[in-house]
Amino acid sequence: MKKSTLSITAFVLSLFPFITLLSSILNIKIEGNLQTGFVVFNIISILSAIILSIIQVKDKRKRDVFSILALCISSVLGVLMIGISIFGILATFG
């Protein structure tokens, strides 16, 4: 089975938010504009990975392991991102 470049791209994009997690595990301080840049980068990479994965998974001929894994990882990270945002809003205004 030939692997599509688009599915590998979606898989790599879904793994980018783990760079921020790795920096947190290694106790690297990220402050100011770099922290904002990481937040924006994580949001863009999660959303683009979800979109690319959905495009790949919908077509049965293009469906492969990388696109399914990218969809699973991106969906979990997206739900986690939405949950943290809702919790932050409720904790601030509730």
> pLDDT, tens digit, for every residue of 2-58?
678 888 899 999 999 998 888 888 988 888 898 889 889 999 999 999 999 999 999
pTM to 2 decimal places: 0.84
pLDDT band at 85 (very low <50, low <70, confident <90, very high): very high
What is the C-alpha radius of gyration for the chain, rounded to an integer number of angstroms?
Answer: 15
Give the structural domain span for 48: 5-93
Measured between its terminal Cα atoms, the distance across the chain in Å is 52
Assigned token pair, 42? 């994580």
pLDDT value, residue 4:
81
Provide the domain count of the chain.
1
